[in-house]
Chain A
Amino acid sequence: MNIFDRLQSIDKRILYVLLFFAIAFPLVNPVPLPMAIAPPTRAAYEWMKSLPDGGVLWVGGDYSASSIPELTPAGKAFVRMAFEKNMRVIHFTMWNTGANIMNAWLTGVAAEYNKQYGVDWVDIGYKPNATAILRHMTSNIIEAAGTDFYGTPLADLPLMQEVLALSPEYVDGIVELSTGSPGSATYLTYVVEQKGIEMVVACTAVSAAGDMPYFLSGQFKGLLNGMAGAAELEKLSGHPDKASASLGAQSFAHALIILFIILGNIGYIVNRRG
Protein backbone atom coordinates (compact mmCIF):
# COMPACT_ATOMS: atom_id res chain seq x y z
CA MET A 1 0.00 0.00 0.00
CA ASN A 2 1.57 3.28 -1.13
CA ILE A 3 1.02 6.67 0.50
CA PHE A 4 -1.78 7.56 -1.94
CA ASP A 5 -3.66 4.38 -1.06
CA ARG A 6 -3.24 5.29 2.59
CA LEU A 7 -4.63 8.77 1.94
CA GLN A 8 -7.83 7.11 0.77
CA SER A 9 -8.18 4.77 3.72
CA ILE A 10 -7.21 6.65 6.87
CA ASP A 11 -8.60 4.87 9.94
CA LYS A 12 -11.95 6.37 10.88
CA ARG A 13 -10.93 6.45 14.54
CA ILE A 14 -8.22 8.99 13.67
CA LEU A 15 -10.88 11.13 12.01
CA TYR A 16 -13.15 10.74 15.05
CA VAL A 17 -10.45 11.84 17.49
CA LEU A 18 -9.43 14.80 15.30
CA LEU A 19 -13.05 15.84 14.90
CA PHE A 20 -13.52 15.74 18.68
CA PHE A 21 -10.55 18.06 19.22
CA ALA A 22 -11.47 20.29 16.26
CA ILE A 23 -14.77 21.00 18.03
CA ALA A 24 -13.57 20.93 21.64
CA PHE A 25 -10.55 23.22 21.26
CA PRO A 26 -12.39 26.30 19.90
CA LEU A 27 -15.17 25.80 22.45
CA VAL A 28 -12.69 25.89 25.33
CA ASN A 29 -10.61 28.67 23.69
CA PRO A 30 -13.06 30.77 21.65
CA VAL A 31 -11.64 32.14 18.41
CA PRO A 32 -13.41 35.30 17.19
CA LEU A 33 -14.10 35.03 13.46
CA PRO A 34 -15.80 37.53 11.09
CA MET A 35 -19.37 36.46 10.31
CA ALA A 36 -21.22 37.24 7.05
CA ILE A 37 -25.00 37.62 7.19
CA ALA A 38 -26.98 35.53 4.70
CA PRO A 39 -29.84 37.39 2.91
CA PRO A 40 -32.60 35.06 4.25
CA THR A 41 -31.43 35.78 7.83
CA ARG A 42 -31.38 39.51 7.22
CA ALA A 43 -34.88 39.26 5.76
CA ALA A 44 -36.07 37.48 8.94
CA TYR A 45 -34.49 40.17 11.11
CA GLU A 46 -36.03 43.01 9.09
CA TRP A 47 -39.42 41.27 9.19
CA MET A 48 -39.20 40.89 12.94
CA LYS A 49 -38.32 44.57 13.31
CA SER A 50 -41.32 45.52 11.17
CA LEU A 51 -43.84 43.85 13.50
CA PRO A 52 -45.95 46.30 15.53
CA ASP A 53 -44.96 47.15 19.11
CA GLY A 54 -47.32 45.49 21.56
CA GLY A 55 -48.55 43.03 18.92
CA VAL A 56 -48.84 39.25 19.16
CA LEU A 57 -46.16 36.81 18.00
CA TRP A 58 -47.00 33.14 17.55
CA VAL A 59 -44.06 30.78 18.11
CA GLY A 60 -44.18 27.23 16.81
CA GLY A 61 -41.61 25.10 18.63
CA ASP A 62 -41.65 21.94 16.56
CA TYR A 63 -38.46 20.17 17.46
CA SER A 64 -36.92 17.60 19.74
CA ALA A 65 -33.83 17.64 21.97
CA SER A 66 -31.50 16.73 19.10
CA SER A 67 -32.22 20.07 17.40
CA ILE A 68 -31.69 22.21 20.51
CA PRO A 69 -28.24 23.48 19.37
CA GLU A 70 -29.70 24.72 16.09
CA LEU A 71 -33.18 25.95 16.99
CA THR A 72 -33.21 27.06 20.64
CA PRO A 73 -30.72 29.92 20.03
CA ALA A 74 -32.82 31.10 17.07
CA GLY A 75 -36.02 30.90 19.12
CA LYS A 76 -34.45 32.79 22.03
CA ALA A 77 -33.24 35.58 19.72
CA PHE A 78 -36.71 35.96 18.18
CA VAL A 79 -38.51 35.95 21.54
CA ARG A 80 -36.05 38.45 23.03
CA MET A 81 -36.68 40.76 20.08
CA ALA A 82 -40.42 40.33 20.59
CA PHE A 83 -40.31 41.08 24.34
CA GLU A 84 -38.17 44.15 23.67
CA LYS A 85 -40.99 45.38 21.43
CA ASN A 86 -43.49 44.60 24.21
CA MET A 87 -45.07 41.97 21.99
CA ARG A 88 -47.08 39.19 23.58
CA VAL A 89 -45.88 35.67 22.78
CA ILE A 90 -47.96 32.51 22.33
CA HIS A 91 -46.23 29.17 21.95
CA PHE A 92 -47.66 25.96 20.52
CA THR A 93 -45.87 22.73 19.61
CA MET A 94 -46.91 19.85 17.38
CA TRP A 95 -44.08 17.68 18.78
CA ASN A 96 -44.76 15.94 22.09
CA THR A 97 -41.04 16.08 22.88
CA GLY A 98 -40.98 19.82 22.23
CA ALA A 99 -43.40 20.69 25.05
CA ASN A 100 -41.03 20.57 28.05
CA ILE A 101 -38.04 21.81 26.04
CA MET A 102 -39.83 24.93 24.82
CA ASN A 103 -41.47 25.61 28.19
CA ALA A 104 -38.09 25.50 29.97
CA TRP A 105 -36.37 28.15 27.85
CA LEU A 106 -39.46 30.30 27.32
CA THR A 107 -39.88 30.52 31.10
CA GLY A 108 -36.23 31.63 31.37
CA VAL A 109 -36.43 34.30 28.65
CA ALA A 110 -39.77 35.61 30.01
CA ALA A 111 -38.14 35.95 33.45
CA GLU A 112 -35.28 38.01 31.90
CA TYR A 113 -37.88 40.58 30.81
CA ASN A 114 -40.17 40.26 33.87
CA LYS A 115 -43.02 39.05 31.68
CA GLN A 116 -46.11 37.68 33.39
CA TYR A 117 -47.52 34.32 32.37
CA GLY A 118 -51.04 34.45 30.99
CA VAL A 119 -50.80 38.19 30.32
CA ASP A 120 -47.57 38.66 28.35
CA TRP A 121 -47.04 35.11 27.20
CA VAL A 122 -48.86 31.80 27.05
CA ASP A 123 -47.61 28.28 26.45
CA ILE A 124 -50.35 26.21 24.80
CA GLY A 125 -47.99 23.25 24.90
CA TYR A 126 -48.41 20.11 22.81
CA LYS A 127 -51.57 19.00 21.06
CA PRO A 128 -51.85 15.75 19.08
CA ASN A 129 -53.04 15.48 15.45
CA ALA A 130 -51.21 18.64 14.41
CA THR A 131 -52.92 19.25 11.08
CA ALA A 132 -56.46 19.28 12.41
CA ILE A 133 -55.62 21.23 15.57
CA LEU A 134 -53.69 23.88 13.65
CA ARG A 135 -56.43 24.31 11.09
CA HIS A 136 -59.05 24.45 13.84
CA MET A 137 -57.06 27.13 15.70
CA THR A 138 -57.34 29.40 12.65
CA SER A 139 -61.02 29.75 13.58
CA ASN A 140 -61.10 29.14 17.35
CA ILE A 141 -58.03 28.59 19.54
CA ILE A 142 -59.85 27.84 22.79
CA GLU A 143 -62.22 25.34 21.18
CA ALA A 144 -59.34 23.63 19.35
CA ALA A 145 -56.72 23.50 22.09
CA GLY A 146 -58.74 23.63 25.32
CA THR A 147 -55.98 23.86 27.90
CA ASP A 148 -52.43 25.21 28.11
CA PHE A 149 -49.18 23.37 28.92
CA TYR A 150 -50.01 23.36 32.64
CA GLY A 151 -53.55 22.08 32.11
CA THR A 152 -55.14 25.49 32.80
CA PRO A 153 -58.19 26.20 30.59
CA LEU A 154 -57.11 28.71 27.95
CA ALA A 155 -60.35 30.62 28.51
CA ASP A 156 -59.04 31.57 31.99
CA LEU A 157 -55.91 33.30 30.61
CA PRO A 158 -56.25 37.05 29.89
CA LEU A 159 -54.09 36.90 26.74
CA MET A 160 -56.18 34.10 25.25
CA GLN A 161 -59.40 36.01 25.96
CA GLU A 162 -57.99 38.61 23.60
CA VAL A 163 -56.40 36.35 20.97
CA LEU A 164 -59.31 34.24 19.80
CA ALA A 165 -57.97 32.74 16.57
CA LEU A 166 -54.74 32.11 14.73
CA SER A 167 -55.64 34.69 12.10
CA PRO A 168 -54.34 38.12 11.05
CA GLU A 169 -57.02 39.87 13.16
CA TYR A 170 -55.34 38.60 16.32
CA VAL A 171 -51.80 37.45 15.44
CA ASP A 172 -49.22 39.69 13.78
CA GLY A 173 -46.75 37.04 12.72
CA ILE A 174 -45.50 33.50 13.14
CA VAL A 175 -42.00 32.33 14.00
CA GLU A 176 -41.71 28.63 13.25
CA LEU A 177 -38.80 26.60 14.66
CA SER A 178 -38.94 23.59 12.40
CA THR A 179 -37.17 20.25 12.35
CA GLY A 180 -39.31 18.46 9.80
CA SER A 181 -42.87 17.22 9.70
CA PRO A 182 -45.10 18.46 11.25
CA GLY A 183 -43.40 21.82 10.94
CA SER A 184 -43.03 24.75 8.57
CA ALA A 185 -44.89 23.04 5.71
CA THR A 186 -47.85 22.35 8.03
CA TYR A 187 -48.08 26.02 9.01
CA LEU A 188 -47.62 27.06 5.39
CA THR A 189 -50.43 24.84 4.12
CA TYR A 190 -53.01 25.28 6.85
CA VAL A 191 -52.34 28.75 8.26
CA VAL A 192 -50.15 31.00 6.11
CA GLU A 193 -51.74 30.22 2.74
CA GLN A 194 -55.28 30.05 4.12
CA LYS A 195 -55.27 33.04 6.46
CA GLY A 196 -52.53 35.25 5.06
CA ILE A 197 -50.45 35.57 8.25
CA GLU A 198 -46.77 36.16 7.53
CA MET A 199 -44.22 33.66 8.80
CA VAL A 200 -40.46 33.36 9.21
CA VAL A 201 -38.83 29.97 9.67
CA ALA A 202 -35.75 28.80 11.54
CA CYS A 203 -35.00 25.33 10.24
CA THR A 204 -32.36 22.72 10.92
CA ALA A 205 -29.60 22.99 8.32
CA VAL A 206 -30.68 19.64 6.86
CA SER A 207 -33.94 21.24 5.67
CA ALA A 208 -32.47 24.55 4.50
CA ALA A 209 -31.82 23.53 0.89
CA GLY A 210 -35.36 22.17 0.50
CA ASP A 211 -36.95 25.18 2.22
CA MET A 212 -35.22 27.76 0.01
CA PRO A 213 -37.92 27.73 -2.73
CA TYR A 214 -40.46 28.83 -0.10
CA PHE A 215 -38.30 31.80 0.88
CA LEU A 216 -37.84 32.85 -2.75
CA SER A 217 -41.60 32.65 -3.39
CA GLY A 218 -42.24 34.91 -0.37
CA GLN A 219 -44.18 32.19 1.47
CA PHE A 220 -41.48 32.40 4.16
CA LYS A 221 -40.57 36.01 4.89
CA GLY A 222 -37.20 34.94 6.24
CA LEU A 223 -35.24 31.72 6.71
CA LEU A 224 -32.61 30.88 9.32
CA ASN A 225 -30.27 28.09 8.28
CA GLY A 226 -29.47 26.00 11.37
CA MET A 227 -26.89 27.13 13.90
CA ALA A 228 -25.27 29.55 11.42
CA GLY A 229 -28.60 31.32 10.85
CA ALA A 230 -29.19 31.47 14.61
CA ALA A 231 -25.74 32.99 15.19
CA GLU A 232 -26.39 35.58 12.47
CA LEU A 233 -29.68 36.58 14.10
CA GLU A 234 -28.00 36.74 17.52
CA LYS A 235 -25.46 39.14 16.00
CA LEU A 236 -28.07 41.29 14.22
CA SER A 237 -30.35 41.49 17.27
CA GLY A 238 -27.49 42.23 19.66
CA HIS A 239 -28.03 39.12 21.80
CA PRO A 240 -24.93 36.96 21.34
CA ASP A 241 -25.55 33.56 22.92
CA LYS A 242 -24.71 29.90 22.40
CA ALA A 243 -24.94 29.84 18.59
CA SER A 244 -22.43 32.70 18.20
CA ALA A 245 -20.10 31.05 20.71
CA SER A 246 -20.30 27.74 18.86
CA LEU A 247 -19.67 28.94 15.32
CA GLY A 248 -15.87 28.84 15.76
CA ALA A 249 -16.10 25.14 16.63
CA GLN A 250 -18.34 24.63 13.62
CA SER A 251 -15.70 26.31 11.42
CA PHE A 252 -12.92 24.04 12.63
CA ALA A 253 -15.08 20.95 12.16
CA HIS A 254 -15.94 21.94 8.57
CA ALA A 255 -12.27 22.69 7.85
CA LEU A 256 -11.24 19.25 9.11
CA ILE A 257 -13.89 17.44 7.05
CA ILE A 258 -12.92 19.41 3.91
CA LEU A 259 -9.24 18.61 4.56
CA PHE A 260 -10.02 14.90 4.75
CA ILE A 261 -12.13 15.06 1.56
CA ILE A 262 -9.21 16.77 -0.23
CA LEU A 263 -6.69 14.20 1.06
CA GLY A 264 -8.89 11.33 -0.08
CA ASN A 265 -9.24 12.89 -3.51
CA ILE A 266 -5.52 13.56 -3.88
CA GLY A 267 -4.93 9.86 -3.25
CA TYR A 268 -7.71 8.93 -5.69
CA ILE A 269 -6.51 11.23 -8.52
CA VAL A 270 -2.83 10.27 -8.24
CA ASN A 271 -3.66 6.55 -8.15
CA ARG A 272 -6.02 6.88 -11.12
CA ARG A 273 -3.34 8.61 -13.21
CA GLY A 274 -0.67 6.13 -12.12
Chain B
Amino acid sequence: MSTNIGHWVGAIFSLALLSYLFKENAVFRLAEHIFVGMSSAHIVVTSWHNYLRGVVMEQIPAGQYILILPIVVGLLMYTRYLPKVAWVARIPLSIWVGYGTGYVLAYTPKPFLTQIRASFVKFVATNPDGAFWAGKTINNVVFFLFLVGTMMYFFFTIKRDNPVIATGASIGRWAIMIAMGAAFGNTVMARTSLFVGRLNFLLGDWLGIMKK
Protein backbone atom coordinates (compact mmCIF):
# COMPACT_ATOMS: atom_id res chain seq x y z
CA MET B 1 0.00 0.00 0.00
CA SER B 2 1.27 3.43 -0.98
CA THR B 3 2.88 5.71 1.61
CA ASN B 4 2.55 8.67 -0.76
CA ILE B 5 -0.04 11.09 0.64
CA GLY B 6 -0.80 12.26 -2.91
CA HIS B 7 -1.95 8.75 -3.83
CA TRP B 8 -4.22 8.67 -0.79
CA VAL B 9 -5.77 12.02 -1.64
CA GLY B 10 -6.23 10.88 -5.26
CA ALA B 11 -7.80 7.61 -4.14
CA ILE B 12 -10.25 9.36 -1.80
CA PHE B 13 -11.40 11.71 -4.57
CA SER B 14 -11.61 8.81 -7.05
CA LEU B 15 -13.75 6.72 -4.72
CA ALA B 16 -15.92 9.72 -3.88
CA LEU B 17 -16.71 10.28 -7.56
CA LEU B 18 -17.09 6.59 -8.41
CA SER B 19 -19.63 6.30 -5.57
CA TYR B 20 -22.08 7.89 -8.03
CA LEU B 21 -22.43 4.43 -9.60
CA PHE B 22 -24.16 3.30 -6.44
CA LYS B 23 -26.30 6.43 -6.10
CA GLU B 24 -25.94 10.17 -6.03
CA ASN B 25 -24.71 11.20 -2.59
CA ALA B 26 -23.30 14.07 -0.55
CA VAL B 27 -19.67 12.92 -0.86
CA PHE B 28 -19.97 12.77 -4.65
CA ARG B 29 -21.49 16.27 -4.80
CA LEU B 30 -18.73 17.70 -2.63
CA ALA B 31 -15.98 16.17 -4.81
CA GLU B 32 -17.85 17.31 -7.93
CA HIS B 33 -17.97 20.94 -6.74
CA ILE B 34 -14.26 20.91 -5.83
CA PHE B 35 -13.50 19.52 -9.30
CA VAL B 36 -15.51 22.25 -11.04
CA GLY B 37 -13.90 24.99 -8.93
CA MET B 38 -10.38 23.76 -9.72
CA SER B 39 -11.18 23.37 -13.44
CA SER B 40 -12.39 26.95 -13.70
CA ALA B 41 -9.37 28.28 -11.78
CA HIS B 42 -6.93 26.30 -13.95
CA ILE B 43 -8.19 27.93 -17.16
CA VAL B 44 -7.42 31.37 -15.75
CA VAL B 45 -4.02 30.32 -14.35
CA THR B 46 -2.83 28.63 -17.58
CA SER B 47 -4.08 31.51 -19.73
CA TRP B 48 -2.21 34.00 -17.54
CA HIS B 49 1.07 32.16 -17.05
CA ASN B 50 1.32 30.59 -20.50
CA TYR B 51 0.25 33.61 -22.53
CA LEU B 52 -1.12 36.85 -21.10
CA ARG B 53 1.64 37.38 -18.51
CA GLY B 54 4.27 37.58 -21.26
CA VAL B 55 2.22 40.20 -23.09
CA VAL B 56 1.34 42.34 -20.07
CA MET B 57 4.55 42.05 -18.04
CA GLU B 58 7.14 41.90 -20.82
CA GLN B 59 6.00 42.91 -24.30
CA ILE B 60 3.97 46.00 -23.41
CA PRO B 61 6.55 47.40 -20.93
CA ALA B 62 9.19 46.77 -23.61
CA GLY B 63 7.45 49.34 -25.81
CA GLN B 64 4.80 47.37 -27.71
CA TYR B 65 2.06 49.71 -26.47
CA ILE B 66 -0.13 48.86 -29.46
CA LEU B 67 -0.91 45.54 -27.73
CA ILE B 68 -3.03 47.47 -25.21
CA LEU B 69 -5.61 47.84 -27.99
CA PRO B 70 -6.52 44.11 -28.29
CA ILE B 71 -6.61 43.90 -24.49
CA VAL B 72 -9.15 46.74 -24.43
CA VAL B 73 -11.17 44.97 -27.16
CA GLY B 74 -11.19 41.77 -25.06
CA LEU B 75 -12.21 43.69 -21.95
CA LEU B 76 -15.28 45.00 -23.81
CA MET B 77 -16.75 41.51 -23.30
CA TYR B 78 -17.34 42.41 -19.65
CA THR B 79 -19.79 45.14 -20.62
CA ARG B 80 -22.39 42.38 -20.92
CA TYR B 81 -22.80 42.67 -17.16
CA LEU B 82 -23.83 46.35 -17.51
CA PRO B 83 -27.34 46.32 -19.03
CA LYS B 84 -27.14 49.83 -20.52
CA VAL B 85 -24.01 49.11 -22.57
CA ALA B 86 -24.36 45.34 -22.89
CA TRP B 87 -24.51 45.57 -26.68
CA VAL B 88 -20.83 46.65 -26.73
CA ALA B 89 -19.91 43.04 -25.91
CA ARG B 90 -21.00 42.22 -29.46
CA ILE B 91 -17.95 44.06 -30.81
CA PRO B 92 -15.26 41.60 -29.66
CA LEU B 93 -17.64 38.69 -30.33
CA SER B 94 -18.28 39.80 -33.90
CA ILE B 95 -14.52 40.19 -34.50
CA TRP B 96 -13.87 36.65 -33.28
CA VAL B 97 -16.77 35.14 -35.21
CA GLY B 98 -15.70 36.97 -38.37
CA TYR B 99 -12.14 35.82 -37.87
CA GLY B 100 -13.24 32.19 -37.42
CA THR B 101 -15.51 32.44 -40.46
CA GLY B 102 -12.62 33.69 -42.56
CA TYR B 103 -10.47 30.83 -41.35
CA VAL B 104 -13.08 28.24 -42.32
CA LEU B 105 -13.58 29.71 -45.79
CA ALA B 106 -9.86 30.16 -46.45
CA TYR B 107 -8.25 27.10 -44.94
CA THR B 108 -10.69 24.18 -45.01
CA PRO B 109 -11.08 23.76 -48.81
CA LYS B 110 -7.62 22.16 -48.96
CA PRO B 111 -8.24 19.17 -46.63
CA PHE B 112 -11.73 18.84 -48.17
CA LEU B 113 -10.30 18.59 -51.70
CA THR B 114 -7.67 16.09 -50.54
CA GLN B 115 -10.48 13.87 -49.27
CA ILE B 116 -12.24 14.09 -52.63
CA ARG B 117 -9.03 13.39 -54.54
CA ALA B 118 -8.39 10.32 -52.37
CA SER B 119 -11.83 9.00 -53.30
CA PHE B 120 -10.79 8.40 -56.93
CA VAL B 121 -9.86 4.74 -56.49
CA LYS B 122 -8.87 2.33 -59.24
CA PHE B 123 -11.61 -0.15 -60.15
CA VAL B 124 -8.98 -2.53 -61.52
CA ALA B 125 -6.21 -2.61 -58.94
CA THR B 126 -2.77 -4.06 -59.53
CA ASN B 127 -0.13 -5.15 -57.05
CA PRO B 128 3.40 -3.62 -57.04
CA ASP B 129 4.45 -6.22 -59.67
CA GLY B 130 1.75 -5.01 -62.05
CA ALA B 131 -0.41 -8.14 -61.76
CA PHE B 132 -4.19 -8.00 -61.24
CA TRP B 133 -5.06 -7.71 -57.53
CA ALA B 134 -8.54 -9.16 -56.97
CA GLY B 135 -8.85 -8.37 -53.25
CA LYS B 136 -7.90 -4.73 -53.67
CA THR B 137 -10.18 -4.40 -56.70
CA ILE B 138 -13.18 -5.68 -54.72
CA ASN B 139 -12.34 -3.39 -51.81
CA ASN B 140 -12.06 -0.37 -54.09
CA VAL B 141 -15.42 -1.08 -55.75
CA VAL B 142 -17.10 -1.61 -52.36
CA PHE B 143 -15.46 1.57 -51.04
CA PHE B 144 -16.78 3.57 -53.99
CA LEU B 145 -20.31 2.14 -53.69
CA PHE B 146 -20.41 2.75 -49.94
CA LEU B 147 -19.12 6.30 -50.30
CA VAL B 148 -21.51 7.30 -53.07
CA GLY B 149 -24.37 5.41 -51.40
CA THR B 150 -23.83 7.26 -48.10
CA MET B 151 -23.88 10.61 -49.85
CA MET B 152 -27.06 9.62 -51.72
CA TYR B 153 -28.65 8.62 -48.41
CA PHE B 154 -28.34 12.25 -47.33
CA PHE B 155 -29.95 13.64 -50.51
CA PHE B 156 -33.03 15.02 -48.82
CA THR B 157 -33.87 17.41 -51.65
CA ILE B 158 -34.32 14.66 -54.27
CA LYS B 159 -37.25 12.26 -54.09
CA ARG B 160 -36.44 8.63 -53.44
CA ASP B 161 -38.69 7.44 -56.30
CA ASN B 162 -35.75 7.78 -58.66
CA PRO B 163 -34.40 4.17 -58.86
CA VAL B 164 -30.74 5.25 -58.96
CA ILE B 165 -31.13 7.40 -55.85
CA ALA B 166 -33.26 4.75 -54.11
CA THR B 167 -30.71 1.99 -54.75
CA GLY B 168 -27.79 4.23 -53.80
CA ALA B 169 -29.52 5.35 -50.59
CA SER B 170 -30.28 1.72 -49.73
CA ILE B 171 -26.60 0.77 -50.12
CA GLY B 172 -25.75 3.85 -48.09
CA ARG B 173 -28.03 2.80 -45.24
CA TRP B 174 -26.28 -0.57 -44.94
CA ALA B 175 -22.87 1.08 -45.14
CA ILE B 176 -23.79 3.56 -42.39
CA MET B 177 -24.85 0.62 -40.19
CA ILE B 178 -21.38 -0.91 -40.57
CA ALA B 179 -19.73 2.43 -39.78
CA MET B 180 -21.94 2.98 -36.73
CA GLY B 181 -21.15 -0.56 -35.56
CA ALA B 182 -17.43 0.15 -35.90
CA ALA B 183 -17.84 3.45 -34.09
CA PHE B 184 -19.74 1.72 -31.31
CA GLY B 185 -17.13 -1.06 -30.95
CA ASN B 186 -14.41 1.57 -30.65
CA THR B 187 -16.45 3.63 -28.19
CA VAL B 188 -16.79 0.60 -25.91
CA MET B 189 -13.00 0.24 -25.97
CA ALA B 190 -12.52 3.95 -25.27
CA ARG B 191 -14.87 3.98 -22.30
CA THR B 192 -13.56 0.78 -20.72
CA SER B 193 -10.00 2.15 -21.15
CA LEU B 194 -10.95 5.00 -18.84
CA PHE B 195 -11.90 2.63 -16.04
CA VAL B 196 -8.88 0.42 -16.74
CA GLY B 197 -6.81 3.56 -16.19
CA ARG B 198 -8.60 4.23 -12.91
CA LEU B 199 -8.00 0.72 -11.63
CA ASN B 200 -4.37 0.95 -12.70
CA PHE B 201 -4.13 3.84 -10.27
CA LEU B 202 -6.28 2.41 -7.46
CA LEU B 203 -4.94 -1.16 -7.52
CA GLY B 204 -1.41 -0.32 -8.65
CA ASP B 205 -0.25 3.09 -7.44
CA TRP B 206 -2.44 3.22 -4.34
CA LEU B 207 -2.99 -0.33 -3.05
CA GLY B 208 0.11 -1.79 -4.74
CA ILE B 209 -1.47 -5.18 -5.42
CA MET B 210 -0.75 -5.31 -9.15
CA LYS B 211 2.01 -7.67 -10.24
CA LYS B 212 4.70 -5.90 -12.27
**Taking the complex as a whole, does A directly touch B, i.e. does some CB pair lie under 8 Å apart?**
yes
Q: Would A210 and B183 count as touching, CB distance under 8 A?
A: yes
Contact of A27 with B193 in the complex, beta carbons under 8 Å: no
Contacting residue for B54 out of A27, A146, A249, A253, CB 8 A: A146
User: B63 CB to closest chain A CB, in angstroms?
Assistant: 15
A16-B21, A28-B203 are known contacts. Are A205 and B189 too (CB-CB below 8 A)? yes
Do A29 and B211 have beta carbons less than 8 Å apart?
Answer: yes
Judge whether B114 and A28 touch: CB under 8 Å. no
Given that A146-B59, A219-B114 are known contacts, is A249 also in contact with B196, CB under 8 Å in the complex?
A: yes
Asked if A218 lies at the interface with its beta carbon under 8 angstroms from chain B, I say: yes
Chain A residues positioned under 8 Å from B3 (CB to CB): none
A167 at the interface (CB under 8 A from B): no
Decide if B186 touches A208 in the complex (CB within 8 Å): yes
Please, which residues of chain A bring their CB within 8 A of the CB of B204?
A: 27
* B 173-197 to A, binary, CB cutoff 8 A, 1 in contact else 0: 0000001001100111110111111
Taking a contact as CB atoms under 8 Å apart, the answer to whether B107 and A194 are in contact is: yes
Q: Could you say which of A45-53, A80-88, A111-119, A125-133 contacts chain B? A: A125-133
- Report how far A245 CA is from B200 CA in the complex, Å: 9
Are A128's CB and B47's CB within 8 A?
yes
Give chain B nearest CB distance to A192 CB in angstroms: 8
Contact partners of A242 in chain B: CB under 8 A:
200
Contact B196 A69 (CB under 8 A): yes
Judged by a CB distance under 8 angstroms, whether A198 is at the interface is no
Find chain B residues with CB under 8 A from A245 CB: 200
* Distance from B98 Cβ to chain A, minimum over Cβ atoms (Å): 13
Chain B residue at minimum C-beta to C-beta distance from A206: B190
On whether A227 and B200 interact (CB within 8 A), knowing A66-B194, A153-B58, A218-B118, the answer reads no
Chain A: minimal CB distance from B198 (Å): 8
Asked if A127 and B50 sit within 8 Å, CB to CB, the answer is: yes
Q: Which residue of A lies closest to B47 (CB)?
A: A128
**A205 and B187 contacting across the interface, CB-CB below 8 Å:** yes
Tell me, rounded to whole Å, the shortest Cβ–Cβ distance linking A41 to chain B.
14
Note all chain A residues with C-beta closer than 8 A to B114.
193, 217, 219
Which one of A66, A125, A147, A216 has the greatest number of beta carbons of chain B within 10 Å? A147
Minimum distance in angstroms from A140 CB to a CB of chain B: 14
Q: Is the CB of A125 within 8 A of B50?
A: yes
Interface size on A, residues (CB 8 A): 57
Q: Which partner residue on chain A sits nearest B188 by CB separation?
A: A257
Find out whether the CB atom of A70 lies under 8 angstroms from the CB atom of B193.
Answer: yes
Asked if B12 is at the interface of the complex by the 8 Å CB criterion, the answer is: no
**Interface of B (DSSP majority class):** helix
Contact at A151–B188, with CB atoms within 8 Å? Answer: no
Q: Which residues of A contact B209 (CB under 8 A)?
A: 28
Determine the chain B residues whose CB is within 8 A of the CB of A27 once the complex forms.
Answer: 196, 199-200, 203-204, 210
Interface residues of A in 195-249 (CB under 8 A from B): 204-206, 208-210, 213-214, 216-219, 225-228, 242, 245-246, 249
Is A68 close to B, CB under 8 A?
A: yes
CB distance from B53 to the nearest CB of A (A): 6
B196: min CB distance to chain A, Å: 5
In contact, B189 and A228 (Cβ under 8 angstroms)? yes
Residue A97 lies at the interface, judged by CB distance under 8 Å to chain B: yes
- Chain B residues lying within 8 Å of A218, measured Cβ to Cβ, are 118
Given A149-B50, A151-B49, A189-B108, are A23 and B196 also a contact pair (CB < 8 Å)? yes
Return chain A residues, CB-CB under 8 Å to B190: 70, 204-206, 226
A189 to B115, CA, bound (A): 12
B81 at the interface (CB under 8 A from A): no
Q: A24-B199, A189-B107 are in contact. List 20 more A-B contacts (CB 8 A).
A: A23-B192, A23-B195, A28-B209, A28-B211, A70-B190, A70-B193, A125-B50, A126-B46, A127-B50, A135-B103, A146-B54, A147-B50, A189-B108, A206-B183, A206-B190, A208-B186, A209-B179, A210-B183, A218-B118, A254-B189
Residues on A lying within 8 angstroms of B by beta carbon are: 16, 19, 23-24, 27-30, 66, 68-70, 96-97, 99, 125-128, 131-132, 135, 146-147, 149, 151, 153, 185, 188-190, 193-194, 204-206, 208-210, 213-214, 216-219, 225-228, 242, 245-246, 249-250, 253-254, 257
Sample (24) of A-B pairs whose CB atoms are under 8 Å apart: A24-B203, A27-B200, A28-B209, A70-B190, A96-B46, A99-B50, A127-B51, A128-B47, A132-B103, A135-B107, A147-B53, A151-B49, A151-B53, A189-B107, A189-B108, A193-B114, A217-B118, A219-B114, A225-B186, A246-B200, A249-B199, A250-B189, A250-B192, A254-B189
